[in-house]
Structure 1
Amino acid sequence: MAPSARNVIVMEMSGLRHTRAGLAIIRHPLLCDVVLGLFLAGAALAALRIGPHGEQPRAPGAAEVIAIGVAFLGVSARRVRTRPALIVVVLTWIALVAVDNERQPVLTVAAIVLLFTFASRNDRRTVWGTSCCIGIAVYLAGVAWGGGGWWAPENLGTLAWIGMATAVGDAARSRRAYVAEVEERARRAEQSRDEEARRRVVEERVRIARELHDVVAHHIAVIKVQATGAKHILAHRPEQVAPALDHISRSSDAALKEIASVVGLLRGTDGIEAPATEPTRGLARLSGLLDDLAAAGLRVDHHQHGEPRELPALVDLAAYRIAQEALTNAQKYGDGTARLAVSYAAGGVRLEITNRVRPGVAPAGSGYGIVGMRERAASTGGALTAGQGDDGRFTVLADLPAADLERVPS
């Protein structure tokens, strides 16, 4: 069944439960059963007082009083003592048939009500086994003491009513179980949607933090180096201050553009993407990054192995950001030199960035840079290691897989 149909069924069942009669039954089930028992007893007494068709009215005898009393008690206790009440009603029916050779309709109705309740509250095997035992006992008692023989309509009719009550009760149980399962699935689906929404919020926060860190950290580091250098040379070589300030201006402008690009992408919703303010960063723009670092005083020994290939967008961006972060750290904590090796292979691309760490310089950063590089590598299905060796060199090694790579068009 389609989910929409299931939702309609759940709404219909919920609507029935919220009606005035449904709320009364839910709040006072025992009182409702007592009222039902009184109604059944009153109907039986009225039938005796009015008299069947063609017969004179009569006062209830001992058998009728017993039958009405047992029927009232059985129906009143149908929710709290279903099985004992059913057994007592059936045994009373059989006993009265055996003693008076007469069936008591009020006990037949009570037995049908109790069978329906029993079938709606127990498993199918137990229900039909009990129903068959009751049907056989009642049928044999009717044949033996009620008269009419094996094919008498009264005996066959009693069997039919017993089977119908059992079937309707079993159907009600199945429907109730189905509605409960649909409601549980709807609850689990709603819970899963809430958990998925919370997970997406967390992932989006991490992504925003990583993007802003990668965008801002490099340019701020370059600006800091240039501003510090301009401060030192201002008194002795003022003619060199202007180029440093120009470079600070360019780095600031680039940082603002990249921040605007990230914010624009984050604000793009409902399938509408904000226009990009610059081309997507990738290894194709690695030369611009090296020029910026060179202007900031970092000499990078760049080596490329293998033929340049077109990388998937996610891998290309991750490779650029990893190189950017690793070289920015080399500029902060190194001796002014670094080595970058980019190796293209059929299965992906490898980046290796090494630099010497200045003696006595301990990284004072937040540590998010290395974490961000590892996350970027993991997002592509790759891996990244970073650490300082015994020779004093800090090495960042990233392996990024990229299947079905194609050659960059010349």
Structure 2
Amino acid sequence: MTSNLERYAERHTRAAGVATAVAVCVCALFGAQISTSESAPPRTLWPAWIIVVSCAAVPAARTRPRATLAVTTAAAAALTAMGYLPSPLLLAPVMAALYWLAALTDSRTTGVGAAATVAVLVATSLAGAPLGDDFLLRTAGTVLWLLLPVSLGGMSRFRRAYIESVKARAAHAERTREEEARLRVAEERMRIARELHDAVAHHMAVAHAQAGTAAHLADAHPEQTRKILADLVGTTSSALLELRATVGVLRHSAGPDADPLEPTPGLDRLPTLVAACESAGLTVTVSTEGEPQPLSPGVDLTAYRIIQEALTNATKHAPDHTARVRLRYDSSQLTVTVANDGTPSGGTPPPVPGGGYGLMGMRERAHSVGGDLRAGPRPGGGFEVAAALPFRPRTPADAPAGPRPEDTP
């Protein structure tokens, strides 16, 4: 009920102010008729006019609570000084002003205003009538009646502050949810972009090299050309399968009738990857150091994709058409190194494969499992990609700290 009245008063401020002024005016006029045997107020029209002036100031309490309290207190002090009993009806305009002062201002301002009002009214009430049986009504009664609107106004202020804080927290939570949703969408788009890049760019680069080699050897070596063309069919088939698996991730939420996903590639497919690169003219040597350890699916996929992208770059840029892959298993991590030698004698340096999204994608993959990746030219010539990957994924914050070389010299 109270909240409904407050909402109505907020929507119709002027009407609520006029209604409040009329109500307190009626109360004050009735209060002026109350007296005791010790009180002998004058029977003139002046008190009525003072009451009307005091009540006329009440509608301004919402915008000027201090000025309204000063006017109503002065009017009430004049009435009590004439001998009128400070009953709650007579003090209605002052009580309304105190309520809005407590509801709209801070606690210090409210305390000072309430204390000054109580002191003035008690002093004028005692001065306007002789001490008698109504002493408690003029002192303790005045204090209690004036403290009532102060407490109600303070409760109203605290309730509004609480509601505003709840609304602020709700708005903040809504913004946080929207930002989190956008972040998840961006991360998912980045992941899909990496998968598409790795699946399409590698196979297309190998297929392009295979087709070029087959065209070059078609007349002089038909048997070797047929073998390369057969490998080209396998390369394009692998590209289609990986592309289908990647697109299947997007369709996975369609329901149980969606196409089953292909197994995630890992280091067990390394021989097939090496064979495809060799058919494109790249000589690849693979060495393993240490005892192979089981890898989590995420780390296994990351290691495979890093080697795949590095061999793709070597297929396109290595001047000697050779690449060396080294897998070193330590106590807690796998170190993957893919390197190629420098420029042949009399040749020109190849472009550094750092201008596209390949190195960026490799580094993002390594960081996603808590590892690190270094890529750049080798001191003796050539290019090297080295990644340190934990056997089990960690958060990027747990990755070993240290300086990272730049992608380009």
Using structure 2 for the length normalisation, give the TM-score: 0.83
Report the Cα offset of residue 148 of structure 1: 4.2
Counterpart of 2:336, as a letter, is: L
Gap change, CA 1:245 and 1:59, over 3 Å in 2: farther
Equivalent-residue separation in structure 1 for 2:74 and 2:250 (angstroms): 76
Equivalent-residue separation in structure 2 for 1:225 and 1:64 (angstroms): 106
Matched, 1:352 2:341: no
The partner residue of 1:286 within 270, 293, 304 is 270
Comparing 350-359 and 208-217, the one that deviates more? 350-359
- Residue 241 of structure 1: SS of its match in structure 2? helix
Counterpart of 1:63, as a letter, is: P
Q: What does 1:85-124 align with in structure 2 at a 5 Å threshold?
A: 85-103=68-86, 107-124=90-107
Unaligned runs of 5+ in 2: 36-41, 395-409
Once the two structures are superposed, residues 39-75 of structure 1 have per-residue CA deviations (whole angstroms, 9 ceiling, x without a partner) of 4335655x499x779xxxx9862122112212222x0
- Residue 63 of structure 2: SS of its match in structure 1? coil
Counterpart of 2:378, as a letter, is: G
Report the Cα offset of residue 281 of structure 1: 1.4
Q: What does 1:183-332 align with in structure 2 at a 5 Å threshold?
A: 183-269=167-253, 276-332=260-316
Matched, 1:37 2:56: no
Equivalent-residue separation in structure 2 for 1:136 and 1:143 (angstroms): 11
- Residue 339 of structure 1: SS of its match in structure 2? strand
8 Å CA contact retained: 1:258, 1:277: no
Equivalent-residue separation in structure 2 for 1:348 and 1:268 (angstroms): 32
- Residue 77 of structure 1: SS of its match in structure 2? helix
Matched, 1:135 2:122: no
Counterpart of 1:353, as a letter, is: V
Equivalent-residue separation in structure 1 for 2:85 and 2:144 (angstroms): 19
Gap change, CA 1:86 and 1:366, over 3 Å in 2: same
Q: What does 1:387-398 align with in structure 2 at a 5 Å threshold?
A: 387-398=376-387
Matched, 1:170 2:154: yes
Q: What residue number does 1:7 align with?
A: none
Gap change, CA 1:16 and 1:32, over 3 Å in 2: closer
Report the Cα offset of residue 32 of structure 1: 3.5
Comparing 85-94 and 257-266, the one that deviates more? 85-94
- Residue 385 of structure 2: SS of its match in structure 1? strand
Equivalent-residue separation in structure 1 for 2:46 and 2:321 (angstroms): 113
Counterpart of 1:185, as a letter, is: R
8 Å CA contact retained: 1:344, 1:350: yes
Matched, 1:70 2:40: no
Report the Cα offset of residue 160 of structure 1: 2.1
Q: What residue number does 1:161 align with?
A: 145
The partner residue of 1:61 within 27, 33, 45 is 45
8 Å CA contact retained: 2:369, 2:393: no
Using structure 1 for the length normalisation, give the TM-score: 0.83
Gap change, CA 1:192 and 1:95, over 3 Å in 2: same
8 Å CA contact retained: 2:213, 2:280: no
**Residue correspondences, number:** 381
Q: What residue number does 1:375 align with?
A: 364
Report the Cα offset of residue 128 of structure 1: 3.1
Equivalent-residue separation in structure 1 for 2:252 and 2:111 (angstroms): 62
Report the Cα offset of residue 177 of structure 1: 0.4
8 Å CA contact retained: 1:68, 1:106: no
Q: What residue number does 1:3 align with?
A: none
Report the Cα offset of residue 22 of structure 1: 5.0
Equivalent-residue separation in structure 1 for 2:294 and 2:374 (angstroms): 24
Counterpart of 1:372, as a letter, is: G
Gap change, CA 1:325 and 1:193, over 3 Å in 2: same
Counterpart of 1:318, as a letter, is: T
Equivalent-residue separation in structure 2 for 1:264 and 1:132 (angstroms): 75
Gap change, CA 1:62 and 1:234, over 3 Å in 2: same
Unaligned runs of 5+ in 1: 1-11, 406-410
8 Å CA contact retained: 2:323, 2:339: yes
Equivalent-residue separation in structure 1 for 2:5 and 2:301 (angstroms): 57
Comparing 140-149 and 205-214, the one that deviates more? 140-149
Equivalent-residue separation in structure 2 for 1:194 and 1:357 (angstroms): 50
Gap change, CA 1:281 and 1:95, over 3 Å in 2: same
Once the two structures are superposed, residues 356-406 of structure 1 have per-residue CA deviations (whole angstroms, 9 ceiling, x without a partner) of 25533335785111111111111122211111134221111111123599x
Equivalent-residue separation in structure 1 for 2:321 and 2:278 (angstroms): 9
Percent identity of paired positions between Structure 1 and Structure 2: 36
Report the Cα offset of residue 243 of structure 1: 2.0
Gap change, CA 1:40 and 1:272, over 3 Å in 2: farther
- The RMSD of aligned alpha carbons is 3.2
Equivalent-residue separation in structure 2 for 1:48 and 1:60 (angstroms): 15
Counterpart of 2:267, as a letter, is: L
